[in-house]
C-alpha cells in the first residue's frame, strides 16, 4: 500500500468533505478501481473516512449547515428561484414543499390562491398560515433539530397516501456524476418517495449547491422534470440535463 497516495487521498477527502469514487479514480489514474477501494478501506479502518455507495466522506463532515445558517445564505438567489417556480403553479392543484430554505422563500412568495399544500417543514407550514385560501397539511414525523425537517416511517406512510401534482424539492448538493444529493438518509427517503409520487417534480438548486456533494443521492437527472437555478448552469450540466430530458428554468 502506497503511504504517499494514502495521505494524498485522506487530505483530498478532508478538503472536499465528500467525494465520489469516480473523482478518486481521476485523481489517481495510475491505479485500479480495486486499489482505490483498498485504500479507502484502510482509511476507514484508521477512522478518518466513512464509505458509502459510490463514494466516501470525511468523519469531520457534519452534513448540512444549521437551519439558522442556511436561512441567511444567498437569499437573492432563492428569491429568483421562487419567482420562476411560481410559473409552474396552477390553482386548485396539490403541491409539496420539502423543508429546504429555498422552499421557505417560495412559501413567502406564494399568492393567496386555492392550493392543497403538503410540507415536511414546520417553518414553511407556519409561514403559510398568513394565507387564507390554501389548505396546508404538515406531514407527521420525527423532526431533525438541525435542519428542521420531518422524516421517518410515519412521514413515508403519510406521503404514500397523498397525490401530488407538483413537488418542489431543495438540494444540498448537485453534480453530473452523483445527481441530486442530501445530507441524511431520512431526507433522502422522503425526497425519493415524493419524486416518485409527483406528476411533476421540480428541483430547486442555488449556484453554490453545484459545488457540493453530499452522501445520499435521492434522484438522478432523468428522475426529475425541471431544474430551477438562480444562475445559468455550466455546459456539462446543460448537456446532461438535455440527455435526461430534464428542463432547465
Residues 75 and 46 occupy one common structural domain = no
Residues 118 and 30 occupy one common structural domain = no
pLDDT at 69: 53
Residues 132 and 220 occupy one common structural domain = yes
Residues 163 and 244 occupy one common structural domain = yes
**Residue that is last in its domain, among 36, 58, 80:** 58
Task: Give the 3-state secondary structure of residue 157.
Answer: helix
Q: What is the mean pLDDT of residues 61-90?
A: 76
The domain total for the chain is 2
Q: What is the mean pLDDT of residues 1-8?
A: 81
Residues 14 and 91 occupy one common structural domain = no
Per-residue confidence band for 64, with pLDDT thresholds at 50, 70 and 90: low
Residues 149 and 213 occupy one common structural domain = yes
What residue numbers bound the domain in which 108 lies?
67-248
Per-residue confidence band for 117, with pLDDT thresholds at 50, 70 and 90: very high
Residues 155 and 93 occupy one common structural domain = yes
Residues 100 and 197 occupy one common structural domain = yes
Q: What is the mean pLDDT of residues 232-238?
A: 91
pLDDT at 239: 95
Write down the pTM of the prediction.
0.77
Angle, helices 75-85/101-109, rounded to nearest 10 degrees = 60
Residues 36 and 76 occupy one common structural domain = no
Least confident span in 37-41, 62-66, 224-228, 236-240:
62-66
Q: What is the percent of the chain with per-residue pLDDT over 70, rounded to a whole number?
A: 93
pLDDT, tens digit (0-9, with 9 covering 90-100), for 123-155: 999 999 999 999 999 999 999 988 899 999 999
CATH of the domain at 28: 1.10.10.10
Q: What is the mean pLDDT of residues 185-210?
A: 94
Per-residue confidence band for 5, with pLDDT thresholds at 50, 70 and 90: confident
- Whole-number Å distance between alpha carbons of 100 and 181: 13
Q: What is the mean pLDDT of residues 237-244?
A: 94
pLDDT at 212: 77
Alpha carbon distances (Å) from 146 to 4, 14, 62, 140, 150: 37, 22, 10, 17, 11
153: Cβ–Cβ under 8 A, 6 or more apart, which residues? Answer: none
Amino acid at each position: 500500500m502506497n503511504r504517499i497516495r494514502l495521505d494524498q487521498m485522506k487530505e483530498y477527502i478532508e478538503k472536499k468533505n465528500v467525494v465520489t469514487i469516480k473523482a478518486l479514480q481521476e485523481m489517481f489514474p495510475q491505479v485500479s478501481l480495486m486499489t482505490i477501494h483498498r485504500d479507502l478501506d484502510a482509511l476507514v479502518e484508521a477512522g478518518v473516512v466513512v464509505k458509502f455507495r459510490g463514494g466516501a466522506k470525511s468523519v469531520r463532515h457534519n452534513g448540512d449547515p444549521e437551519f439558522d445558517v442556511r436561512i441567511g445564505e444567498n437569499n437573492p438567489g432563492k428569491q429568483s428561484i421562487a419567482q420562476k417556480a411560481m410559473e409552474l403553479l396552477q390553482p386548485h392543484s396539490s403541491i409539496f414543499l420539502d423543508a429546504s430554505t429555498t422552499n421557505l422563500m417560495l412559501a413567502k412568495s406564494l399568492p393567496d390562491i386555492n392550493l392543497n399544500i403538503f410540507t415536511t417543514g414546520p417553518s414553511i407550514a407556519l409561514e403559510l398560515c398568513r394565507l387564507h385560501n390554501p389548505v396546508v397539511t404538515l406531514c407527521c414525523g420525527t423532526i431533525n433539530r438541525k435542519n428542521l425537517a420531518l422524516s421517518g416511517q410515519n412521514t413515508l406512510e403519510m406521503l404514500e397516501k397523498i397525490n401530488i401534482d407538483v413537488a418542489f424539492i431543495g438540494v444540498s448538493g448537485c453534480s453530473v456524476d452523483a445527481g441530486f444529493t442530501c445530507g441524511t438518509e431520512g431526507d433522502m427517503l422522503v425526497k425519493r418517495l415524493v419524486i416518485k409520487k409527483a406528476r411533476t417534480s421540480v428541483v430547486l438548486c442555488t449556484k453554490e449547491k453545484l459545488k457540493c456533494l453530499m452522501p445520499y443521492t435521492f434522484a438522478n437527472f432523468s428522475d426529475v422534470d425541471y431544474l430551477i437555478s438562480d444562475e445559468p448552469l455550466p455546459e456539462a450540466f446543460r448537456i446532461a440535463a438535455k440527455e435526461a430530458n430534464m428542463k432547465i428554468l
